[in-house]
Amino acid sequence: MRTLISSAFISLDGVVDSPGGEPGYRNSGWTFKDVEFLPEAFEIKIREQKESAAILLGRTSYEAFSQVWPDMPDFADYKVMPKYVVSTTLGEDDLVSNWGETTILRSLDEVAALKETEGGPIIVHGSASLNQGLSDAGLIDRYHLVVFPLLLGAGKRLFSTTDKDTQKLKLVEHEAYANGLQKQVFDVIR
């Protein structure tokens, strides 16, 4: 079984909305505004590219990332990885041609089937709604969180508000940085 890893830049109050400057959100770009850049705080992002075997995205994140990541040297390892997009509306004609193999999955059941295949870890970037569904369905195995010392209030959140049984997590890696960021890596306990 493949490991499904949710990777997120997240505010202290759980917001993951528009960290890189995507339009339409009041606090868009919050990851680089008012927070000193320290390369060591983002080491996990480099490691994720080296350790992942595939990327899983929701439609909205795919549409945003596929416009910029294919040509960015910082994301070169992702260009050659298989990509999976969970969407009920995206069509084959909507996929970009310069970002490698991309498969559209139509349901969380298809994600569960993907996890049963051979191969290395699958990384989920962005994709707030998808993350909520994956978490609620018990499909996420690990969380890679870079927590920013910010309270953003409104915005898309990583975790749903669904009334469900407790999901237990085990902190397996953590570090605090001089700029206030924290790396928190949790395994989901089953």
Contact status, residue 83 vs residue 55, Cβ threshold 8 Å = yes
- Condensed to tens digits (0 to 9), the pLDDT of residues 42-98 reads 999 999 999 999 999 999 999 999 999 999 999 999 999 999 999 999 999 999 999
Mean pLDDT across the stretch 92-119?
97
Among residues 112, 171, 141, the alpha carbon closest in space to that of 6 is found at 141
Phi and psi at residue 40, to the nearest 5°: -65, -25
Lowest mean pLDDT among 8-17, 26-35, 136-145: 26-35
pLDDT score of 55: 98
Q: Where are the beta strands (DSSP E) in 67-132?
A: 83-86, 102-105, 122-125
CA distances from 9 to 16, 91, 125, 143 (A): 6, 28, 9, 11
Lowest mean pLDDT among 26-35, 38-47, 110-119, 135-144: 26-35
The token pair that represents 93 in the structure block? 């004609």
